Every structure is written in C-alpha cells, then in structure tokens.
Amino acid sequence: MAEDKKSDDYTVEMNKLDQGNKEFEAAPPPTPSPRASPNISNNPALPVLAYCGSSIMMTVMNKYVLSGLDFNLNFLLLCVQSLVCIAAIQTCKSMGLITYRDFNTDEARKWFPITLLLIGMIYTGSKALQFLSIPVYTIFKNLTIILIAYGEVLWFGGSVTNLTLFSFGLMVFSSLIAAWADIKHAVESTGDTSSKVSTLNAGYVWMLINCLCTSAYVLGMRKRIKLTNFKDFDTMFYNNLLSIPVLIVLTLLVEDWSSANLARNFPEANRDGIFFAMILSGASSVFISYTSAWCVRTTSSTTYSMVGALNKLPIAVSGLIFFDAPVTFPSVSAIAVGFVSGIVYAVAKIKQNSQAPHRCSPHTSQCQQPEHERFAALLKAWNDNMHLTAEFKGLVWSDGENPAITLVGVGV
C-alpha cells in the first residue's frame, strides 16, 4: 500500500562532488513494497472530464446569474462566491482532502496587492460576460495569453517562438471574426439595433479592461509568489479570504441595495435558481483547482496543457446550447479558429519547454544546465552507490555558495 512507503530526504552538496574524487556512500535501499492496486481515481479520463465539467459549470452558472434583466450587483455575486469558496476549501481541509497554510498576517500583507488585482480581474470579467455571449467571451479571453507572454518577455526573460507567434495571430484573427459576427447579427436582427450595438461595444470595452487586469494579476502573482512560496490552495485561501472584506465594502458603497433594486435583481419567479447558481459558481472554482491538480497528477503537465486548450471548445459550445447565442457561419468559424489557436499555442509551449536551451548567467561565461540535467549528472556522480528505484515526490535545487539538491520525501 502507498501508506507503507518510507519517505526520506537526501541532500547532496554540489561543491563537494569533486573534492578528492571521494565517492558517496549510501545505505542500500530497503526492498520496494508492492504498488497500490489501481483504482478509479487514477484513471486519467476521470480527472480530465471533471476538469472540463467544472470549467463549463462555472462559466454557465455565472452567465445565468449575470444574464438576468438589469443585474447590477456584481460585487455581491463575487462576495458570495468568495464566501462559498472559503467554506468549501475549509471543509475539504478538515476532511483531509487538501492542505494549505494557516492564516499569517505578514503573508496576508504581502499578498494583499495581488488580491486587489484579482478583484479587478473577476469584476471586469463579470461585466464583460454580462454584455457578451459565452463564445465571444471565451474567444476574446485568448488575447490575455498574448499580453502575459510579452509581459514575461519584458520582466522575466521569456521568449516567443515562431509557432507561438502564429498562434497569437490565430487568436487575434478569431477575435476579429467573433466581433464581426456579433455586430453583423445585431445589425441584421429585428429590434433596437443601436441599443444592441452599444451593448456589444460596452462588452468589448470591459473585455479589454479584463484582459489588462488578468495579465497584471498573473504577472504580479508570479513575482509575488516568490516571496511567499504559495501553492495552489494557499493562493486560493488568501485570495478569497482577503477579498471578502473588500467586496463587502464595495457592494455596500457602490451598489444599490434598495428593495426595488433587490427585487429587480432577484425576481421572485427564479430567485431560488439565482441563489443556487451563485453558490454553485463559487464551489466550481474549488472544483477547478482540485481537478487541475488531479489532472496533472494522473496524466502529465503536457496532457493538462492540451486539455486546457481543448476545453475552450465545449465552453464556447455551452453558450450556443444554454443561452441561445447566435449560431451563424461567422460565429462558428470564430469558435473553430479560436479552438485551433489554443491547440497551436499549447503545442508551441510544449515544444519550447522540451527544447529549452541551457541558461547562461549574464555575469559569467558558464551556462547553467536545466534542473533535470543537473539532477541526472548528480545521480551519475554517485557512481551507482545509491540505486534509486523510487518515485520522487519533490526536488529542491538550492543555489548560492553551497549549491545542493534535495530529494524530498523519496518513497522507496
């Protein structure tokens, strides 16, 4: 059984490998215990379907709430979702399903600017989804990838390959097709054309702001996470916990809490359905995080990248099915091109990661090998004295005056 596995940490100081050509001595590993029998949770199809389903559910539930007549309590919606998320992850933690850090004031202070960026991202996203159809919203969301990629080039030394540039071109092209299809349908349909076009224009403005906020949040989080070493559920815990008081203040100060406006936002005919959708959309964010980790664990990061790209299609199609989004040749073409652009981008990133060049320090003529190559060299330097037949739970590379590699929790 998995519980019977022994876990140890081994640390090797790299600058001692060549001192006197001494060999490392290690105790022989114990006899491997039999692997746990396969179960349904290790079936790769299940986490992939769960991840796709939770993504679709969250988008559809948000659109259901926001598509109500003159819904204008967006901050309240986001506050309810954060409360549900905190309650859900705390319940999962108490049941032993997930783990995350306890609240720390110093960490909260460091993370609070990221929470403000998150609030801007989810608020502008809710406004864009309120004015745009799900397919158009999903297609335009791809533009955020371009902003993040060039932000990484500017601030993190990233690079953009030719195949990545080609995928960016497809993303822009699909967005132009989607916008043209939307405006064409609004002009040709019956009713107040100017009102429909102005609604679309408002949606495009909110979508542009959302792309900027999302890229700022992702890039800022990447930089800030180095100070805190947060994991996925640590990030979720602090993001939602810190956003609750801010959202409460914003909804009380900015939004209309009159009885007439509450009745307009929550009509008696479908009030229960709206409340249920708000709660379910909050729980969906937990499902997405959990199934993402589950998907990576049971498949691979490559498979997960492709699933993320392929997932855009069912999300876009859900808008055609549940909300009567216009099904025209231009709109379907935009979905198809956006779908292909996501696949091309995923393939480009996979190829780029697999062909990553050795990293050279700007202060020296020596190049650093990628971690996996350094790790392989280290194992070879052990002169086969330690015969590792383990499943590695983690690997920590420590730079500095005494560089070392730590094999964290090697299960033998």
pLDDT in tens, 112-152: 999 999 999 999 998 998 888 888 888 888 888 888 888 88
Would you state the pLDDT for residue 332? 87
360 neighbors 366 (Cβ within 8 angstroms): yes
On whether the CB atoms of residues 246 and 108 are closer than 8 A, the answer is no
What pLDDT does residue 5 have? 47
Tens of pLDDT, residue by residue over 6-40, are 444 445 554 554 554 545 455 555 555 444 445 55
Q: Are 172 and 143 in contact (CB under 8 A)?
A: yes
What residue spans of 17-66 are helical by DSSP H?
45-66
Strands laid side by side in the 7-13 sheet:
7-13, 404-411, 391-398
Provide the pLDDT for residue 400.
45
Residue 383: the pLDDT is 38
pTM score = 0.70
For 12, the enclosing helix (H) or strand (E) is strand 7-13
All residue ranges of the chain with pLDDT < 50 are 1-10, 14, 17, 20, 22, 24, 33-37, 358-412
- Per-residue confidence (pLDDT) for residue 104, from 0 to 100: 92
Give the pLDDT of residue 356: 63
- Distance from the first to the final alpha carbon of the chain: 12
For residue 188 the two structure tokens come to 């040709």
Q: Which residues, listed in sequence order, are joined to residue 411 by a DSSP beta bridge?
A: 7, 391
Spatial separation of the C-alpha atoms in residues 360 and 366, rounded to whole Å = 6
Neighbours of 363 (CB within 10 A): 6
pLDDT of residue 139: 86
The residues pairing with 12 across neighbouring beta strands, listed in sequence order, are 405
pLDDT at 252: 95
